[in-house]
Amino acid sequence: MLQVRHLVKYFSGVKAVDGVSFEVRAGECVALIGPNGAGKSTCFACIAGQQRPSGGEILWAGQRIDALAPARRLARGVARTFQVAQTFDALTVLQNLQLLMTARHGLPAWNVLDRVSVAAATQLLARVGLQHLAHADALGLPYGAKKRLELAMALVGLGEGEGALADPQGRLPSPVRPRLLLLDEPGAGLAETERLELMQLVKSLARDGVAVLYTEHNMDAVFGVADRVLVLIEGRLAAQGTPDEIARHPEVRSRYLGHSFDATRRAPSHA
Contact 52, 67 (CB under 8 A): yes
The region of 36-44, 98-106, 127-135, 262-270 touching ligand ATP under the rule CB under 6 A is 36-44
Smallest gap from Cβ 70 to ligand ATP, in A, equals 16
SS (HEC) of 5-22? EEEEEEECCEEEEEEEEE
Among 27, 37, 56, 189, binds ligand ATP (CB under 6 A): 37
Residue 150 CB, shortest distance to ligand ATP, in Å, is: 18
Helices and strands in the chain, H and E counts: 8, 10
Q: Is 218 in the site for ligand ATP (CB under 6 A)?
A: no
The three-class DSSP label of residue 92 is: strand
| Least distance CB 48 / ligand ATP (angstroms) | 13
User: Among 18, 42, 65, 85, which residue sits at the site for ligand ATP (rule: CB under 6 A)?
Assistant: 42
The residue within the footprint of ligand ATP, chosen from 18, 40, 87, 149 (CB under 6 A), is 40
271 binds ligand ATP (CB under 6 A): no
Residues 194 and 189: their CA atoms lie apart, in Å, by: 10
Q: Rule CB under 6 A: which of 178-217 touch ligand ATP?
A: none
Identified binder of ligand ATP from the candidate list 4, 7, 31, 39, rule CB under 6 A = 39
Among 20, 24, 41, 151, binds ligand ATP (CB under 6 A): 41
Residue type, 30: V
* DSSP3 helix / strand / coil % (the chain, rounded to 5): 35, 25, 40
How far apart are the C-alpha atoms of 41 and 101, rounded to whole Å? 28
Three-state DSSP at 137 gives strand
Q: Tell me how far apart the alpha carbons of residues 95 and 138 are, in angstroms, rounded to a whole number.
A: 9
- DSSP letter at 122 equals H
- Name the segment binding ligand ATP (CB under 6 A); options: 35-43, 86-94, 101-109, 188-196: 35-43
| Beta bridge partner(s), residue 65 | none
* Minimal distance, residue 80 CB to ligand ATP, in Å: 14
Binding site for ligand ATP (CB under 6 A): 11, 14, 16, 34, 36-42
